[in-house]
Amino acid sequence: MARVQWMRRRLETSPLLARAAPFVLFLVLTALQGRVGEASHYWIYLGKTVAGAWLIWLIRPYVAEMRWAISWEAGAVGLAVFFVWVGLDPYYPKFGKPGPAWNPHAEFGSGTGLAWLCVVGRVLGSSLVVPPLEEVFYRSFVYRFLVKQDFLAVPLGAFAWMPLLVTSGVFGLSHFEWLAGGVCGLAFQALVIWKKRLGDAMTAHAITNLLLGLWVVWKGAWHFW
């Protein structure tokens, strides 16, 4: 309990830490997937989803812009990015080497309860946990920090070419599907600038990831995971 209170004090007094530390920890957990046995691709993902949800709850009082917002623009951008992600896939070389397909049915047996637990966990994690963590880090922190080190003084709706291109490029290169990821980063940042708030981009991101997850399950397109 004392450690949690210490963490709360640090997050409350450091806007940078509140926006960057949860994402970095999430990345560390992602890097551990598959490192302690093949099954760890799956159980570490479930664990990091729970950890990510806890981190969102922990930082929510200190990150005022991390609030979901529903709008037709968010829905349109989320749907468009999904179509771009799937539609572009066959037509460009990918970044780096693909890892093993994330297919719990192959690991735990087709149709087993454990396999479906992993699938549901992945869909929920990518739709509800990943969007707040990534949008806060990239669109709220990194973009504004590139405009000015005192990033809280930069309005969410501020437009600047260099931060827009750099942030979207880094976001794209953090994905195997770098081109779709770059388009995704541009679209989500443009949505933040347009709406002057972060919540629409969180919603658009959630819609894209939810549709992609349903596509993966429906079509067996496990390579997207």
Taking only the tens place, the pLDDT of each residue in 153-201 is 999 999 999 999 999 999 999 999 999 999 999 999 999 999 999 999 9
**pLDDT (0 to 100) of residue 1:** 67
Angle at Cα 109 formed by Cα 106 and Cα 113, nearest 5°? 120
Q: Is the CB of residue 73 less than 8 Å from the CB of residue 203?
A: no
pLDDT digit string (tens) for 97-108? 666 779 999 999
**pLDDT (0 to 100) of residue 99:** 66
CA distances from 156 to 18, 120, 124, 182 (A): 17, 33, 27, 20
**pLDDT (0 to 100) of residue 97:** 67
**pLDDT (0 to 100) of residue 34:** 87
Residues of the chain with pLDDT under 50: none
CA distance 127 to 12: 26
pTM (global) more than 0.85: yes
**pLDDT (0 to 100) of residue 67:** 97
Q: Is the CB of residue 11 less than 8 Å from the CB of residue 58?
A: yes
Q: How far is CA 183 from the centre of its chain?
A: 14
